[in-house]
Structure 1
Amino acid sequence: MGAEEKRVSSKSSSEDGGVASCDTQVVLNVYDLTPLNHYTYWFGFGIFHSGIQVHGMEYGFGAHDFPASGVFEVEPKSCPGFIYRCSIPLGRINMPPTEFRIFIENVASEYHGDSYHLISKNCNHFTDDIAWRLTKRHIPGWVNRLARVGSVCSCLLPESLQVTTVKHLPEYHECVEDGLESSSADSHHEHAESDEADQDKLLLSQPSRGSIDITFIKEVHR
C-alpha cells in the first residue's frame, strides 16, 4: 500500500510539474519617454511606454508606415529608445508558450503599425488590452493617463504629442544577412514598396543600441 501511494504521489508530482511548466507571470514593464517624467511622475502624470512580459519575452506595440503587425517582441526591460522605470506584476496565467504564441499572433492582426495613435491607440492601450484578456486585470491608470486626458481635451496637447511616438526613434529596414543594411535612399524606397511577405521580415532597430533588435510578430491573416 505504501508503494502504491508513492507511485500515485510521484505521478501527481509529475502532472503538477507539467502544469507548472505552463504557468507564467504576466508583468507590465514601464518606461519613461522623457526625462521630465522624473518630475511629473510624483504628481501622477507622465509620458510612458509599456510592454507586457510573458514567458520570458516582452511584447509591445509600435508605429510604422505599413498595414501590417505593429506588435513586437524584445528582451524584457530593454526596449530601445526608452528609459526603463519599473515592473508591475499583473497576475499569473496557465498557458503553454505555443498557445500564447498563437494568441499574440492573432492579436497582432488587430494592431497594425499604421494604426498607432498616441491618444486613441497607443502602446499602453495595447498592454491594457493584453492584460485584460490574459488576467482580467487592467494596467494602472497612471501609465496611460495622458491618453485619457488627451481624448477629452486634445486641444491642450502639443501637436507633436499627437503623432506616433515610436516611429521617429528607430529606422525600419528589411532584415539582411551578415548584419548589412541598406545604404541608399533608393533601397529604402524599394523596401517601402515591397510586398506583404517582405513586411513580415521587418525589424525595428535602434542605431545607438545596435545589439538590441525589436522583431515584429507575424500576424495571423483573417
Structure 2
Amino acid sequence: MASFVSTSSSEIILHVYTLSPPPPTPSSSLFDKFGSFFHSKIMTPTGYGTYHTSIDVNGFNYTFAAAASIIKTKATDPTSPSSISSCPDGCTFTTSIILGPSPSASTVQNILQNLLKTFTPTSYHLLNRNCNHFTETFSTSLIPSSTFPLPSYPRYINRAAKTATIFINHGDVCDIEVEGYNAAGRERLSKEEKVKKGKKKELTEEQKEALAKLKK
C-alpha cells in the first residue's frame, strides 16, 4: 500500500514513483506489447523496475530533469495530481521514505551549489546521470555517514540503470560517493585520483644529486 510522510516533517524525505510503460491496446505494435510484458513481468519482479524520485528538505522538493538541471519547488503531498503531473509520463506514486534529519537551510544551499557543477542542464543521461543518481548523491551529501552507500537509500531504485552502465557506458557516469562527499566538503577521491595521489613523485636529476650530497 502506498504511503507518504507529511511535508511538514523536519526529516529528509525521499518520494518514489514507479515508472511504467502505457498498457498495450489492441492497436499497439508487437514491440510495444513485448516491452510492456518484459517490464511488468520480468524486470520489476526481479528487482529491476524503473523509478522516478524526488527529495523533500526543509519544505522544498528537489529533483533532476533533462534540460532543466536541479528543479526546486514547494513541497506538496506527493500523491496529489499536481505532484504526479510534474513527474515523467507513466508515473505512479509508490512510497515515501525518511532518510534522516534535515540539515540547516544554509547547508542545503551550499551543497546544491556544489552539485550544480555536475548536475547541469546538459548532463542528464537516462543510464549515467538520472534523477535517481541525483537524489542518492544529494542525500549522501546531506547526511553525514561513515559508510557508503547510505543505508536508508533503497538499492532497488536505480539498480536497472547502474547495471546497464556495465554494458552500455557513454562516459560521465555519476560517481555518487565521490560527488556526494565532495559536495558536502568531505573529501572522497575517485579510484583514479587515489592511484594518482598515491604515486611517489619522480625526483629530477638535480634533486637526486642534492639528496646524495646530504647523505654523505
After TM superposition, the structure 1 = structure 2 runs for residues 69-80 of structure 1, keeping only pairs within 5 Å, are 70-74=69-73, 75-76=75-76, 77=78, 78=83, 80=86
Report the secondary structure of 2:44's partner residue.
helix
Distance 1:34 1:115 in 2: 24
Q: Which structure has more strand as a fraction of its residues?
A: 1
- Judged with a 3 Å threshold, the aligned counterparts in structure 2 of structure 1 residues 92 and 56 are, in CA distance, closer, same or farther, namely same
2:10 paired residue number: 24
Aligned-residue RMSD, C-alpha: 2.6
Match of 1:91 among 93, 97, 100: 100
Runs of 4+ residues deviating >4 angstroms: 35-40
Distance apart, 1:53 and its partner CA: 1.2
How many correspondences in the alignment? 129
Report the secondary structure of 2:98's partner residue.
strand
Distance apart, 1:116 and its partner CA: 0.8
What is the TM-score with the length of structure 1 in the denominator?
0.51
Distance apart, 1:81 and its partner CA: 3.2
Cα deviation, 1:143-193, whole Å, max 9, x if unaligned, reads 0011112112339xxxxxx9xxxxxxxxxxxxxxxxxxxxxxxxxxxxxxx
Distance 2:70 2:154 in 1: 21
- Judged with a 3 Å threshold, the aligned counterparts in structure 2 of structure 1 residues 154 and 109 are, in CA distance, closer, same or farther, namely closer
Report the secondary structure of 2:52's partner residue.
strand
Match of 1:123 among 131, 152, 172: 131
Match of 1:61 among 38, 42, 64: 64
2:164 paired residue number: 150
**Any conservation in 1 of the 2:111–2:141 contact (CA below 8 Å)?**
no
Runs of at least 5 residues in structure 1 that lack an aligned partner in the other structure:
1-22, 156-161, 163-222
Note if 1:34 corresponds to 2:36. Answer: no
Report the secondary structure of 2:125's partner residue.
coil
Distance apart, 1:47 and its partner CA: 1.1
Cα deviation, 1:58-110, whole Å, max 9, x if unaligned, reads 1111111xxxx6000133421513422211111113x2224322332332232
Distance apart, 1:38 and its partner CA: 6.0
Match of 2:51 among 48, 53, 66: 48
Report the secondary structure of 1:131's partner residue.
helix
Note if 1:109 corresponds to 2:117. Answer: yes
What is the TM-score with the length of structure 2 in the denominator?
0.52
**Which letter does structure 2 place at the counterpart of 1:54?**
V
Runs of at least 5 residues in structure 2 that lack an aligned partner in the other structure:
1-8, 22-35, 171-216
Q: Which has the larger radius of gyration?
A: 2
**Which letter does structure 2 place at the counterpart of 1:29?**
H
